[in-house]
Amino acid sequence: MKPKHFTNAEISDLLVRHDINPTAQRVVVTRTILERCAHLSAEDLFQIIEQMPDRRGVSLATVYNTLGLLAQKGVVREVIADPAKVVYDPNTAPHHHVYNVTTGELIDVDADRMQVSGMPSLPLGTSLEGVDVIVRVRSPS
């Protein structure tokens, strides 16, 4: 997935459309993860932002808070593959993942290539949040 470029105004609009107050820090965080087009953890993102020359200071706590908010509002997707940390995926189209447990690498698989059939009926009083498929692979030791 190739990097894209966004103006701050575009990001700001996107946030507003998702019911998020577009503060300077939130715009930086959102813009960074969307432009990187990669699976990043909060810590990854924080370090990238720290090294931007034109950065406006963004604290680690704010990165965590913002990513949580973005995930909750559907701007990005949380991927829980590695028990050690959560990564965020700017790809919000339905898709699944191949996770290399040795290297930590995470690869997208389009939902129209790999599908789930036979969805069980949901427990009473619950609504569907999403279906995650994770293909775990291992590199030779």
Residue 84 or 124 having the CB closest to DNA:
84
**Backbone phi and psi for residue 45, each to the nearest 5 degrees, phi listed first:** -60, -40
Q: Does 45 bind DNA (CB under 7 A)?
A: no
Task: Give the shortest CB-21-to-a copy of itself separation in angstroms.
Answer: 21
52-91: contacts with a copy of itself (CB under 8 A): 78, 80-83, 85-86
DSSP letters of 27-55? HHHHHHHHHHTS-EEHHHHHHHHHT-TTP
Task: Give the shortest CB-119-to-a copy of itself separation in angstroms.
Answer: 6
In angstroms, rounded to a whole number, what is the distance separating the alpha carbons of residues 136 and 126? 28
The one segment of 3-11, 52-60, 89-97, 133-141 that binds DNA by CB under 7 A: 52-60
In angstroms, rounded to a whole number, what is the distance separating the alpha carbons of residues 50 and 112? 37
What would the x/- binding string for a copy of itself be over residues 19 to 58, using CB under 8 A? ----------------------------------------
In angstroms, rounded to a whole number, what is the distance separating the alpha carbons of residues 26 and 72? 14
Task: Give the shortest CB-124-to-DNA separation in angstroms.
Answer: 27
Q: Does 101 bind a copy of itself (CB under 8 A)?
A: yes
In angstroms, rounded to a whole number, what is the distance separating the alpha carbons of residues 50 and 47? 5
What token pair was written down for 46?
A: 């924080």
In angstroms, rounded to a whole number, what is the distance separating the alpha carbons of residues 135 and 96? 8
Interacting residues with a copy of itself (CB under 8 A): 78, 80-83, 85-86, 98, 100-102, 105, 107, 109, 113-120, 122-123, 125-140
